[in-house]
């Protein structure tokens, strides 16, 4: 949730919370090999968005339900009271950051059933319930589900429209419902895409396109927790471009920047999609190898080092890298894990560079054979 200023008014705080709820990615995805770990911030925002939609629908339903009681339409009135009660239970649970009693599709289908019941009783004005229903679809559901459920709502409601209104009115009502649904879906898609782009910019290095150190901290923490909880291995490779200062001094910073970008491209091409590359700082990069133990990681590191030494990263000069390797089993914390990689890298550079060194508990390291 957003940081709130103590000097803000109640309305300003409410606006800040609503804005945050509807401007984040409402559909968090499960990560590979980490089915139980969700981004709690995204989940909290999605629950908040669900709660606000329920509040909005309940506010509309309450006076309609009151009118039904006064008009003697007791069946839709009691049905409306039951729906209101279910909504209130959901709102309370979501306010306490608990899982809702009813899923969004169930709420939407119950609301649709209430609309149809009202139409059967001749309450044509309840047809306009369909509009907030169509607005809520893209907010609460995945895009593909929203498409099919929106079509289903249209197919169910359209016969009532044509039975209750003349042809011109029916055409206008159907078109307006379609426009409401399409505009709502487009707006939510645009908001989610913009939010995703902003999130990517916040964790991406602008020069190389690799993830930045901020993202590394989070991913390494997740990997460490996954090891502690499920004993799933992971290994960090800390790589440093050898004699990078001389590349900048002799060939200019433009060549140096191209070398870093090309290096990241090579790493992404040679590693699996499951693995991630981060810019650690300057000419240092980290590769997080998921589901990879130390033996396999050393093999990968040696292949990368040898491949980089043999190809032309940039035409102007030859590039080599030194690599420090440390698997998650040796780490007590993320900082400890990175420090062990850093010490192994320091030993690789001290041993003549273009080396792969394995971090050990005693920090002595073991250098593999280099290609010169």
Grade residue 34 by pLDDT with cuts at 50, 70 and 90. very low
Q: 3-state secondary structure string, the chain?
A: CCCCCCCCCHHHHHHHHHHHHHHCCCCCCCECCECCCCCHHHHHHHHHHHHHHHHHHHHHHHHHHHHHHHHCCHHHHHHHHHHHHHHHHHHHHHHCCCCCCCCHHHHHHHHHHHHHHHHHCCCHHHHHHHHHHHHHHHHHCCHHHHHHHHHHHHHHHHHHHHHHCCHHHHHHHHHHHHHHHHHHHHHHHHHHHHHHHHHHHHCECCCCCCECHHHHHHHHHHHHHHHHHHCCCEEEEEEEECCHHHHHHHHCHHHHHHHHHHHHHHHHHHCCCCCEEEEEECCEEEEEEECCCHHHHHHHHHHHHHHHHHCCCECCECCCEEEEEEEHHHCCCHHHHHHHHHHHHHHHHHCCCCCEEECCCCCCCEECCCCC
Q: Mean pLDDT in the chain? A: 81
Q: What is the pLDDT of residues 39-71, one digit of tens each?
A: 555 567 677 777 887 887 788 788 878 887 888
**Does the pLDDT of residue 161 top 70, yes or no?**
yes
Provide the pLDDT for residue 370.
42
> 103-117, 213-227, 246-260, 358-372 — which is least confidently predicted?
358-372
**Does the pLDDT of residue 369 top 60, yes or no?**
no
Provide the pLDDT for residue 42.
59
Mean pLDDT of the 253-277 span = 95
Question: CA-to-CA distance for 32 and 9, rounded, in angstroms?
Answer: 42
Provide the pLDDT for residue 182.
77
Question: CA-to-CA distance for 107 and 87, rounded, in angstroms?
Answer: 8
**Does the pLDDT of residue 201 top 80, yes or no?**
no
Grade residue 2 by pLDDT with cuts at 50, 70 and 90. very low
Q: Specify which of 69-78, 176-185, 228-237 reaches the highest per-range mean pLDDT.
A: 228-237
Q: Residue 155's closest CA among 125, 130, 126, 188?
A: 130
Q: Specify which of 45-54, 74-83, 182-191, 345-354 reaches the highest per-range mean pLDDT.
A: 345-354
For CATH 3.30.70.270, the residue range(s) in the chain are: 213-367
Task: Kindly report the number of other CB atoms within 10 A of residue 176's CB atom.
Answer: 14
Q: What is the pLDDT of residues 324-344, one digit of tens each?
A: 999 999 999 999 999 999 999
Q: Residue 324's closest CA among 293, 275, 270, 285?
A: 285
Mean pLDDT of the 144-164 span = 78
**Domain at 213-367: CATH code:** 3.30.70.270
Q: What percent of the chain has pLDDT over 70?
A: 81
Q: What is the pLDDT of residues 90-131, one digit of tens each?
A: 889 888 888 887 777 777 778 778 777 877 777 777 776 777
Grade residue 153 by pLDDT with cuts at 50, 70 and 90. confident
């Amino acid at each position: 949730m957003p940081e709130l200023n103590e000097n803000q008014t109640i309305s300003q705080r409410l606006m800040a919370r609503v804005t945050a709820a509807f401007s984040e990615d409402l559909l968090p995805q499960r990560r590979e090999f980490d089915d139980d770990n969700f981004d709690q911030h995204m989940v909290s925002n999605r629950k908040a968005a669900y709660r606000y939609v329920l509040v909005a629908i309940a506010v509309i339903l309450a006076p309609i339900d009151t009118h039904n009681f006064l008009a003697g339409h007791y069946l839709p009135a009691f049905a409306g009271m039951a729906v209101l009660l279910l909504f209130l239970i959901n709102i309370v649970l979501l306010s306490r950051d608990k899982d809702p009693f009813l899923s969004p599709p169930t709420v939407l289908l119950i609301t649709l059933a209430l609309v149809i019941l009202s139409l059967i009783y001749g309450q044509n004005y309840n047809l306009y319930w369909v509009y907030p229903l169509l607005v809520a679809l893209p907010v609460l559901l995945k895009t593909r589900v929203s498409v099919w459920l929106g079509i289903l709502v249209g197919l169910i409601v359209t016969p009532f429209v044509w039975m209750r209104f003349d042809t011109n009115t029916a055409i206008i009502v159907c078109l307006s419902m379609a426009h409401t649904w399409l505009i709502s879906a487009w707006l939510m898609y645009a908001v989610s895409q913009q939010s995703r782009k902003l999130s990517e910019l916040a964790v991406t290095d602008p020069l190389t396109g690799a993830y930045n150190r901020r993202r590394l901290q989070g991913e390494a923490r997740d990997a460490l927790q996954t090891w502690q909880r499920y004993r799933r291995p992971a290994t960090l490779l800390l790589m440093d471009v050898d004699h990078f200062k001389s590349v900048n001094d002799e060939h200019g910073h433009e060549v140096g920047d191209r070398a870093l970008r090309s290096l990241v491209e090579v790493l992404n091409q040679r590693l699996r999609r499951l693995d991630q590359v981060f810019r650690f700082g300057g000419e240092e990069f980290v590769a997080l190898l998921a589901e990879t133990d130390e033996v396999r990681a050393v093999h990968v590191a040696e292949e990368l080092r040898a491949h980089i030494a043999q190809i032309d990263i940039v035409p102007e000069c030859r590039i080599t890298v030194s690599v420090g390797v440390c698997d998650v089993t040796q780490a007590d914390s993320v900082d400890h894990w990175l420090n062990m990689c850093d010490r192994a890298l320091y030993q690789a550079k001290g041993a003549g560079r273009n080396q792969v060194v394995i971090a050990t508990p005693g920090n002595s390291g073991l250098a593999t054979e280099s290609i010169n």
